């Protein structure tokens, strides 16, 4: 290669470079800046390094991130460099008091190429904590934020270095130039993880900001202002047609004030009416979809949800399990203790079941003394594992209003190829009745 100056960007200066032909724009300083900023904002107990173990660049980036974490922080540090689908499944059960750092993923772990932005978005939709990145394109594609070098700034900087290289070659020693960095955040993920703007560093730029009241009602406000301008213009025209200047000016001023007050009152009334309407719509929707006794989603809500999840499972060929739970001998509880106590039992069991399963599971009251659970992306083994937890939790439940333990019987079914939703539900119901006939307080599968 001819001995001519070369300009490029890098995270580290190669040990085997041949001076004096290079000028490097380094970005590695963005990594510790991003890490320190993320730790200050989130105060995490755990740090997860997310990357692609099959890609040398991603491995190097994760190594740089790990070295940049301040020593003595007493924070648990783990790598998540497994295949993408396994990583997404594992992400759902990770603790919330954590933070992640994304080091680019180019493969799904099975030899298939994948765009890093798409990989990050899939991960961000499943993890319960914010992820920070070091590239501008990641912010807006799943990353909450980061100290990044913008493409346009990099381009300008590269041009300047190129011109300098032409004028002053050769470089001796090699020229190392710090990158121009910007602090960038995604407003959508700031809202998702309840990170206030006041916590962000000074000079931070936020994209995807939730529209404020002024943006939301811009056309209405513009219409009001236009109306005021038109009315004021009419007043000025009338002013020239009348000679009684002083009296007319005073009168027109009063009219103008009255009109402005009416407009303000009308605007306020419209805002109040709109707010009340949204609140009433939310209340009606909640009443329509929630069981008033247990607070769980009702049968109507369940039917919409199970239909949606069943279609998604068919489309993605993913696992889906249904568990039907029925309280054992509930009629005798109602007959002996009364319906008020029966309602207490239903409410306590509903809360117990909902607190025992995963957040990703969907629990609803099916009707009477029956509850139903949708285990999303779960096979029979996973569904039976959580059914055992539910069975044990209910058996240990102490209800002071009754003198004996309450138990339930559970029936489980898993979606099969060519199944209809009706087939899936009927098998789960039949499995539950099998548990009943075989002695109650047990789990059956069909």
Where does the pLDDT of residue 179 fall: very low under 50, low under 70, confident under 90, or very high at 90 and above? Answer: low
pLDDT in tens, 35-51: 899 999 999 999 999 88
pLDDT of residue 373: 97
Question: Which residue among 253, 287, 321 closes a domain?
Answer: 287
Give the model's pLDDT for residue 25.
Answer: 53
How far is residue 352's CA from residue 394's CA, in Å, rounded to a whole number? 7
Do 194 and 134 sit in the same domain of this protein? yes
Q: Is the pLDDT of residue 80 over 70?
A: yes
250 and 350 share a domain?
A: no
Same domain, yes or no: 124 and 267:
no
Residues 349 and 261 in one domain: no
In-domain check, residue 325 = yes
What is the domain-level CATH number for residue 340?
A: 3.30.70.270
User: Is the same domain home to 307 and 427?
Assistant: yes
User: Structural domain tally of the chain?
Assistant: 3
Instruction: Decide if 58 is inside a domain.
Output: yes
Q: Which of 255, 287, 319 is the last residue of a domain?
A: 287
Q: Is residue 154 part of a domain?
A: no
Tell me: do 309 and 423 sit in the same domain: yes
Does any domain span residue 2?
Answer: no
428 and 350 belong to one structural domain: yes
Rounded CA Rg of the chain: 32
Beta-sheet pairing, 98-102 with 76-80? unpaired
Residue 11's pLDDT is 45
CB 161 within 8 A of CB 177: yes
Domain containing residue 336: 299-445
Same domain, 74 and 200: yes
Per-residue three-class SS string for 11-23:
CCCCCCCCCCCEE
pLDDT surpasses 80 at 214: no
**Torsions phi, psi of 402, nearest 5?**
-125, 160
Lowest-confidence range among 85-89, 267-271, 281-285, 319-323? 281-285
Q: In sequence order, what are the beta bridge partners of 365?
A: 371
**Is the residue at 168 inside a domain?**
no
224 and 129 in a common domain: no
Same domain, 86 and 104: yes
Residue 5 resides in a domain: no
Inside any domain, residue 135:
yes
pLDDT digits (tens, 9 = 90+) for 118-140: 888 999 999 999 999 988 888 98
Model pLDDT, residue 379? 95
Q: Look at residue 59 and tell me whether its pLDDT is greater than 60.
A: yes
> Where does the pLDDT of residue 169 fall: very low under 50, low under 70, confident under 90, or very high at 90 and above?
low
Res 260: pLDDT: 84
Flag whether pLDDT at 18 surpasses 60: no
Higher pLDDT, 78 or 60: 78
Domain boundary among 266, 287, 308: 287
Q: Tell me the average pLDDT of the chain.
A: 84
Q: Do 93 and 194 fall within a single domain?
A: yes
pLDDT at 7: 45
């Amino acid at each position: 290669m001819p001995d001519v100056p070369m300009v490029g960007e890098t995270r580290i200066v190669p040990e085997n470079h041949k001076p004096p032909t290079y000028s490097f724009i380094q970005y590695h300083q963005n990594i510790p800046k991003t890490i320190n900023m993320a730790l200050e904002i989130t105060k995490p107990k755990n740090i997860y390094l997310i990357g692609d173990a099959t890609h040398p660049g991603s491995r190097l980036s994760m190594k740089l991130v790990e070295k940049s974490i301040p020593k003595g922080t007493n924070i648990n540090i783990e790598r998540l460099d497994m295949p993408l689908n396994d990583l997404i499944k594992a992400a759902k059960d990770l603790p919330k008091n954590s933070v992640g750092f994304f080091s680019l993923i180019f493969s799904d772990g099975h030899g298939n190429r994948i765009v890093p932005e798409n990989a990050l978005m899939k991960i961000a939709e499943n993890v319960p904590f914010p992820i920070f990145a070091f590239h501008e394109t990641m912010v807006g594609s799943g990353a909450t934020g980061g100290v990044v070098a913008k493409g346009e700034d990099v381009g300008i900087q590269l041009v300047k270095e190129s011109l300098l290289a032409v004028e002053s070659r050769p470089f001796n020693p090699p020229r190392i130039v710090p990158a121009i960095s910007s602090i960038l955040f995604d407003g959508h993920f700031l809202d998702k993880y309840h990170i206030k703007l006041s916590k962000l560093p000074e000079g931070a730029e936020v994209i995807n900001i939730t529209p404020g009241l002024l943006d939301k009602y811009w056309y209405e406000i513009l219409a009001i202002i236009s109306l005021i301008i038109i009315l004021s213009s009419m007043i000025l025209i009338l002013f020239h047609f009348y000679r009684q200047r002083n009296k007319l000016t005073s009168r027109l001023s009063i009219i103008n004030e009255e009109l402005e007050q009416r407009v303000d009152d009308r605007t306020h009334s419209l805002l109040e009416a709109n707010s009340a309407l949204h609140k009433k719509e939310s209340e009606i929707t909640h009443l329509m979809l929630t069981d008033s006794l247990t607070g769980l989603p009702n049968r109507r809500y369940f039917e919409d949800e199970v239909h949606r999840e069943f279609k998604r499972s068919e489309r993605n060929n993913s696992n889906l399990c249904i568990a039907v739970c029925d309280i054992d001998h509930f009629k005798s509880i109602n007959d002996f203790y009364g319906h008020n106590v029966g309602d207490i039992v239903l409410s306590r069991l509903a809360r117990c079941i909902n607190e025992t399963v995963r957040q990703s599971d969907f629990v609803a009251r099916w009707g009477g003394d029956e509850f139903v659970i949708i285990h999303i992306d779960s096979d029979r083994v996973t569904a039976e594992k959580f059914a055992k937890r539910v069975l044990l939790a209910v058996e240990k439940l102490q209800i002071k209003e009754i003198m004996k333990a309450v138990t339930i019987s559970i029936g489980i079914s898993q979606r099969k190829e060519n199944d209809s939703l009706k087939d899936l539900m009927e098998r789960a119901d039949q499995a539950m009745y099998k548990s009943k006939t075989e002695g109650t307080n047990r789990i059956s599968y069909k």
